[in-house]
Amino acid sequence: MLISRKVVALGLSVLCALGSGSAVAAEKEDLKVIQLPIRTDGPKSLDPVEGSTTYDNMACAQFYETLLTNKYASPMEMEPLLLAEMPTTDDGGTTWRFKLKDEVYFHDDECFPGGKGRQIRADDVFYSLKRIADDEHKLENWWLLADTIKGFDSYKDVQNAAADFDYDAPVEGFVKISDLEFEIVLQKPVYRFLYVLGMFQTSVVAREAVEFYGEDFAENPVGTGPFILDTWVRKQSLTADRNPNYHEVLYPDRDEWSREDKRARLHRAAGKRVPFVDRIEFTMFIEDQPMWLEFNAGNLGYSQVPEDYFTDAFDRSSKELKEEYLRRGMRPHANKLLDFTFRGFNMEDELLGGYTPEKRALRRAISYAIDLDEINETFYNGRRIVYDGPIPPGLDGHPENGYSPAAARGRNIAKAREMLAEAGYPDGEGLPAIRFLTSQSTINNAVAELVKRQLEEVNIKFEPVFMDFSTLIESINKKQGPMFGFAWGSDYPDGENNLALFYGPNESPGSNHYNYKRPEYDAMYEQILTMGPSDERTAIYEKMRDMVLDDCVYVGGMARERFYLISPWLLNCKPTERFYGWFKYLDVDDSKRE
Counts for the chain of helices (H) and strands (E), in that order: 18, 21
Beta bridge partner(s), residue 240: 229, 280
Residue-wise pLDDT for 59-115, tens only, equals: 999 999 999 999 999 999 999 999 999 999 999 999 999 999 999 999 999 999 999
Q: How large is the average pLDDT for residues 334-343?
A: 92
Residue 247 three-state SS: coil
User: Model confidence at 6, in pLDDT bands (50, 70, 90)?
Assistant: very low
At residue 157, φ and ψ (nearest 5 deg) are: -65, -45
Residue 3 has what pLDDT? 59
Q: 339-559: CATH homologous superfamily?
A: Dipeptide-binding Protein; Domain 3 (3.10.105.10)
Instruction: Give dist(CA 449, CA 431) in Å, integer.
Output: 19
The vertex-109 CA angle with 65 and 214, nearest 5°, equals: 80
Give this prediction's pTM: 0.86
11 versus 197: the higher-pLDDT residue is 197
Mean pLDDT score of the chain: 94
Residue 28 has what pLDDT? 45
Which residues does 562 contact at the CB level (< 8 Å), separation at least 6? 304, 334, 335, 336, 337, 575, 577
Amino acid at 377: E
Instruction: Give dist(CA 330, CA 324) in Å, integer.
Output: 9
Whether the per-residue pLDDT at 19 is higher than 50: the answer is no
Residue-wise pLDDT for 405-421, tens only, equals: 999 999 999 999 999 99
Residue-wise pLDDT for 244-256, tens only, equals: 999 999 999 999 9
Instruction: Give dist(CA 199, CA 311) in Å, integer.
Output: 35
Whether the per-residue pLDDT at 17 is higher than 60: the answer is no
Residue-wise pLDDT for 121-169, tens only, equals: 999 999 999 999 999 998 999 999 999 999 999 999 999 999 999 999 9
| Domain ranges across the chain | 2-242, 339-559
User: Model confidence at 192, in pLDDT bands (50, 70, 90)?
Assistant: very high
Instruction: Give dist(CA 453, CA 458) in Å, integer.
Output: 10
User: Model confidence at 8, in pLDDT bands (50, 70, 90)?
Assistant: very low
Residue-wise pLDDT for 262-275, tens only, equals: 999 999 999 999 99
Distance from the first to the final alpha carbon of the chain:
32
Whether the per-residue pLDDT at 422 is higher than 80: the answer is yes
Whether the per-residue pLDDT at 2 is higher than 60: the answer is no
Residue 7 has what pLDDT? 38
Instruction: Give dist(CA 46, CA 57) in Å, integer.
Output: 9
Q: Are 238 and 61 in contact (CB under 8 A)?
A: no
Percent of the chain's residues with pLDDT above 90: 90
- Strand pairing report for 95-99 and 181-185: antiparallel
Report which of 435, 458, 431 is spatially closest to residue 367, judged by C-alpha positions. 458
Q: How large is the average pLDDT for residues 206-216?
A: 97
Residue-wise pLDDT for 479-529, tens only, equals: 999 999 999 999 999 999 999 999 999 999 999 999 999 999 999 999 999
Asked which of 229-233, 398-402, 486-490 is least confident by mean pLDDT, the reply is 486-490
Helix locations, 30-151, DSSP H: 54-63, 122-132
400 versus 14: the higher-pLDDT residue is 400
User: Model confidence at 224, in pLDDT bands (50, 70, 90)?
Assistant: very high
Amino acid at 208: E
Residue 5 has what pLDDT? 53
Whether the per-residue pLDDT at 179 is higher than 90: the answer is yes
CATH number (3.40.190.10, 3.20.20.60, 3.40.140.10, 3.40.50.150) of 2-242 reads 3.40.190.10
Residue 360 has what pLDDT? 98
